[in-house]
Amino acid sequence: MSVINYVIDETTVNRLTKNMGWLETYIPEVVTRLESMGFSVVYDQEAGFDLMHIHMPLRMANRLSNNGDNGIPIIYHGHATEDSFSVGRGAKYSLRKWFKKIAGKSDLILCPSQSAEDYFRTLLPNHHIEQLNYGINIAKYSCSERSRISFREKYGIREDELVVSCIGGISKRKGIDDFINISKRHPELRFMWVGGDYTDNTGIDLFYRMFARQGDIYLKDLPDTILVTGYIKDIPAALSASDIFFFPSRQETQGLALIEAAASGRPIITRDLPVFREWLTPGKDCLMDMSEEGFDSCIRHLSNDPDLSLRLGREARNSAEKYHDINKTSQRLGQIYKELLG
């Protein structure tokens, strides 16, 4: 049985953020399937493994110095780019150099989207790079009437209210400013943000404010008209309680929350980014725009046209099944491991 070491550095990640995101959504699902294929997955192990798959590169330099010359294959998961961080030009230049250095020491860079792959190909044009979508358990996100009712009761949402939701950390990168502005235009709708500030650690929060999130918006700054749930585990219930999923994020290397919303059959409004066009088609399974005026028009169309909402939601689920089925992702990942292990 081949032992795969998933380097996540959970202790450091937990200090930096409350939101584990895809680490809690994707990792457990794919590991279960890999184990059924005969792999054993361990986490942050110092020795005794056959392949290293680095998901969070926080301590990567140390890991590579310990293991990089002993013939153990190394996969670097290229799910973040310099634009994943709200920092200045100088810091982005430093991040780019860091990504190039650490990713370049791997045997394979695995990217969750074509957009991410294109980024790493500009950094390392001769490196072995492959694109493999994040997968999710599609069945887990099927819309549930029972979950819809219980979630709405818990958060005081009336059944006759139309809920426009988004999932993510509160930051301008995620488009919270557009979400706020659109909510002010529609007092007749209930706007709900599922997520919160990234950390409760005062020191780290101060660092974010000074260097990483300049001019950002914080939980205390949100208007009372927006329901903020904070970080919750039961994302399928929150989506079941929603009627429209509005995702104005400005930068993603895939956008797992958008995939989850599609799997739940929610009609989607999103920013028109190349990474989303890799699997979504405006007018077929979503609505896309780039401006506040455009987003406003999309909200009006969906809130006034139940048939359009139903059609877009149904097609969005079909697209999620086609491109982001965890079973397909796991099968290909297992093949990649076997190829590297020889």
CB of 259 closer than 8 Å to CB of 177: no
Burial of 311 from C-beta contacts in 10 A (0-12 / 13-18 / 19+): middle
Give the number of other Cβ atoms within 10 Å of residue 23's Cβ. Answer: 16
| 99-121 pLDDT tens trace | 898 899 899 999 999 999 999 99
Phi, psi of 124, rounded to the nearest 5 degrees: -135, 75
Instruction: Give the pLDDT band of residue 31 (cuts 50, 70, 90).
Output: very high
| 167-221 pLDDT tens trace | 998 888 899 999 999 999 999 999 999 987 666 665 555 555 555 555 567 677 7
Instruction: Give helix 306-323 / helix 292-304 axis angle, nearest 10°.
Output: 110
**What's the mean pLDDT in 148-177?**
95
In this structure, the dihedral spanned by the alpha carbons of residues 249, 198, 166 and 236, taken in order and rounded to 10 degrees, is 130
CATH architecture assigned to 138-323: 3-Layer(aba) Sandwich (3.40)
**What superfamily does domain 3-135+325-341 belong to in CATH?**
Glycogen Phosphorylase B; (3.40.50.2000)
Give the number of other Cβ atoms within 10 Å of residue 160's Cβ. Answer: 5
Closest CA to 95 of 282, 294, 87: 87
Phi, psi of 105, rounded to the nearest 5 degrees: -85, -5
How far apart, in Å, do the first and last CA atoms of the chain sit? 13
User: What's the rounded Cα separation, in Å, for the pair 95 and 82?
Assistant: 6
Q: What is the pTM of this model?
A: 0.89
- Per-residue confidence (pLDDT) for residue 141, from 0 to 100: 95
CB of 169 closer than 8 Å to CB of 200: no
- Per-residue confidence (pLDDT) for residue 45, from 0 to 100: 87
CATH topology identical between 3-135+325-341 and 138-323: yes
User: What's the rounded Cα separation, in Å, for the pair 197 and 240?
Assistant: 23
**What's the mean pLDDT in 87-91?**
68
- Per-residue confidence (pLDDT) for residue 16, from 0 to 100: 45
Closest CA to 168 of 217, 96, 206, 133: 217
User: What's the rounded Cα separation, in Å, for the pair 18 and 232?
Assistant: 10
User: Domain map of the chain by residue range?
Assistant: 3-135+325-341, 138-323
Which has more confidence, 67 or 92? 92
Mean pLDDT of the chain: 88
Worst-scoring range by mean pLDDT, 8-22, 39-53, 80-94? Answer: 8-22
Give the number of other Cβ atoms within 10 Å of residue 301's Cβ. Answer: 15
Q: Identify the three-state secondary structure at position 87.
A: coil
